[in-house]
């Protein structure tokens, strides 16, 4: 007989949904659990809604748990370096911690954006603080790796992370055993063997540091490639738009050049007609001048003829 899902399964499913959908999903899960297990329904109802920063860290644990685990291991290295009082190694590991935390926080922001719930820069800062707490304190690391945070964590430097989280699942790690009673000091050891063992430990730590640094560089390079790919897509789209605009401008230029040619042809024809009209006007002026001269000559002839007529009339009158 199927007893239905257990608490861990339901909790994991709830903390995988988007923050805006959490309340409705929890209400549905409580209603389903009430039919078979009222105690389970009560525990589900007590699950708190995660903040946006907590949801982003939970998403990171589900999608890239290996990166978070590497951060936790880096915290172990830092604590060993503190125990060994190795300032150089401590400074190198602390620098690497800051780089890796920033790179992983940026990766978490990208995952949130791909999941359809982009986060602000303020939320990314809270994610970084939570990851710093996971690096600095084993209990914070356990809470983060559980993937059920309800709020961002901060580290107060006293070994206790502050923030909100749901009870975590067992991680499979054995509990720390109490320190054994003090024993008498061991007999002297071979100094050469001790030096060789110390050198081997130092070499191993250096190799681990180089591996962590190489992984950090790889993540940074991947992030740079993703950013460059996004910029390339934007540049391609801008180039496509510019090409379309250039094509439209060329077509407009061709249309304008065609219109200019039409206007230039019409202007040439108009000038030709104007020149022809000017020549005709000149000819007409000459003809008008000649006509005026002819009129004046005719008028003079008329006056002479009239004078001759009057003289003839006078002679006739005298003879009569």
Q: How confident is the model at residue 148 (pLDDT cuts 50, 70, 90)?
A: very high
Sole residue written with tokens 């644990």: 61
Max mean pLDDT range (15-19, 171-175, 234-238, 266-270): 15-19
Q: Which residue has the higher pLDDT, 202 or 291?
A: 291
**pLDDT value for 272:** 84
**pLDDT value for 198:** 53
Q: Is the pLDDT assigned to residue 186 strictly greater than 50? A: no
Percent of residues, the chain, with pLDDT higher than 90: 38
Q: Which residue has the higher pLDDT, 141 or 158?
A: 141
> What's the rounded mean pLDDT across residues 195-215?
66
Bridge partners (DSSP) of residue 149 are 165
- DSSP for 133-200 reads HHHH-HHHHHHHHHT-BSS--EE-SSS-EES-BPPPPP-SPPPPPPPPPP-PPPPP--HHHHHHHHHH
**Cβ(148)–Cβ(11) under 8 Å?**
yes
What is the Cα–Cα distance from 302 to 60, expressed in whole angstroms?
125
Q: Is the pLDDT assigned to residue 193 strictly greater than 70? A: no
- In the three-class reduction of DSSP (H, G, I as helix; E, B as strand; rest coil), residue 242 is classed as helix
Q: Which residue has the higher pLDDT, 308 or 212?
A: 308
**Cβ(107)–Cβ(67) under 8 Å?**
yes
**pLDDT value for 2:** 53
Q: Which residue has the higher pLDDT, 235 or 299?
A: 299
Residue length of the chain: 320
Q: How confident is the model at residue 177 (pLDDT cuts 50, 70, 90)?
A: very low
Q: Is the pLDDT assigned to residue 176 strictly greater than 50? A: no
Q: How confident is the model at residue 214 (pLDDT cuts 50, 70, 90)?
A: low
155: enclosing H helix or E strand: strand 154-155
| Residue 102 structure tokens | 């920033």
Q: Is the pLDDT assigned to residue 159 strictly greater than 90? A: no
Sole residue written with tokens 């936790």: 72
């Amino acid at each position: 007989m199927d007893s239905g899902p257990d608490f861990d399964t339901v909790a994991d499913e709830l903390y995988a949904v988007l923050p805006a959908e959490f309340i409705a999903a929890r209400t549905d899960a409580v209603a389903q659990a009430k039919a078979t297990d009222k105690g389970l329904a009560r525990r589900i109802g007590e699950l708190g809604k995660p903040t946006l920063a907590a949801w982003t860290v939970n998403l990171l644990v589900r999608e890239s748990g290996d990166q978070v685990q590497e951060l936790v291991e880096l915290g172990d290295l830092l604590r060993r370096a503190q125990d060994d009082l190795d300032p150089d190694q401590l400074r190198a590991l602390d620098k690497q911690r800051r780089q890796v935390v920033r790179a992983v926080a940026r990766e978490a922001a990208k995952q949130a954006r791909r999941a359809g719930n982009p986060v602000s820069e303020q939320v990314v800062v809270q994610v970084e603080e939570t990851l710093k707490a996971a690096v600095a304190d084993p209990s914070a690391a356990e809470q983060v790796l559980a993937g059920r945070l309800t709020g961002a964590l901060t580290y107060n430097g006293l070994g206790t992370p502050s923030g909100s989280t749901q009870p975590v699942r067992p991680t499979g790690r054995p509990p720390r055993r109490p320190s054994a009673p003090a024993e008498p000091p061991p007999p002297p050891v071979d100094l050469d063997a001790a030096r060789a063992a110390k050198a081997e430990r130092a070499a191993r730590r250096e190799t681990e540091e180089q591996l962590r640094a190489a992984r950090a560089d790889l993540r940074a390079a991947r992030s740079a490639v993703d950013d460059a790919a996004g910029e390339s897509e934007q540049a391609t789209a801008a180039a496509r738009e510019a090409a379309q605009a250039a094509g439209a401008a060329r077509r407009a230029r061709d249309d304008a050049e065609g219109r200019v040619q039409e206007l230039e042809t019409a202007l040439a024809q108009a000038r030709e007609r104007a020149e022809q009209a000017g020549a005709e006007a000149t000819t007409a002026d000459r003809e008008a001048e000649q006509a005026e001269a002819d009129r004046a000559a005719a008028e003079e002839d008329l006056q002479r003829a009239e004078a001759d007529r009057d003289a003839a009339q006078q002679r006739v009158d005298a003879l009569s």
